[in-house]
Amino acid sequence: MLAPLLVPVPPGPFYADPHGVTGSVRRRDRAYRVVTRALAVALVPAAFTVAPRRARHVACQWALAARFPAEDLTGLTPATRAAFEAARTQALWCDGELIGLTDGYRDAEQQARLFAEEVRRTGSVEAARLWILPPNQSRHVAGTAVDVRPAEGARWLERHGARYHLYRLYDNEWWHFEYRPDAQPERLPHPGAPVPPPHDVPPTAPPTAPAISHDLRHG
């Protein structure tokens, strides 16, 4: 595994409003984007020896693992992980955006603990459900939800995630996306809001790493 090369962003289930990001943070994030993409370019030859047909995809995952060393993709369903990796490969190579994972799969015990902590913090089950769901309703427990960072990466995923069946679900959680291959979900105000019936969407093939130009200077 690659050693962490960049200062990690502290993980956590909840985040501040991205519109409050300071200029210094924006400059730092721009520097991270440049360095991480340069690292991915440098790793392509090594990735080619491992996966000749998917070298850029593999190099992207390696570079992002160095940028976000605390992330853990284990526990996501295979389809969710494939969609997430394909999306962030496209984001990095074609648009120079980074998408890191802050939280993915949670087991039922962890989800129950987080829910109980939020009930204690807010004082009621109803208030807690504005931010987190119990285990039997959580897509994190199902392995089909991802919390992402930074805010710029989340905005990219909100714009382009539908092609990978990854959708932002809640108005109050810019970081939370779910893999929904069968139906495009309605955006809800918060996790505890009533869920309307889904709209059917035509079935598509499972997501794969996108075709990317051989010109590494692109993007």
Q: How do residues 19-39 score in pLDDT, each as one tens digit?
A: 455 677 788 889 999 999 999
Q: How would you classify the pairing of strands 166-170 and 145-149?
A: unpaired
Residue 75: C-alpha distances to residues 69, 79, 106, 147, 212 (Å): 17, 11, 8, 14, 28
The pLDDT of residue 27 is: 86
Length of the chain: 219
- Residue 200 predicted with pLDDT over 80: no
Instruction: Please check whether residue 153 is in contact with residue 137, taking contact to mean a CB–CB distance below 8 angstroms.
Output: no
Only one residue has tokens 């590494």, namely: 216
Only one residue has tokens 């089909």, namely: 144
* 48 or 213, greater pLDDT: 48
Residue 147: C-alpha distances to residues 10, 41, 67, 84 (Å): 13, 26, 16, 11
- Residue 13 predicted with pLDDT over 70: no
Q: How do residues 69-93 score in pLDDT, each as one tens digit?
A: 999 999 999 999 999 999 999 999 9
Only one residue has tokens 């120079």, namely: 96
What's the distance, CA 65 to chain centroid? 13
Alpha-carbon torsion, ordered 56, 58, 34, 22, to 10 deg:
130
Only one residue has tokens 């939370």, namely: 176
- Crossing angle between the packed helical segments 78-95 and 55-67, to the nearest 10 degrees: 90
The pLDDT-based confidence of 217 (bands split at 50, 70, 90) is very low
What's the pTM? 0.81
Contact residues for 81 (Cβ-Cβ < 8 A; gap 6+): 73
Interval 168-190 mean pLDDT: 97
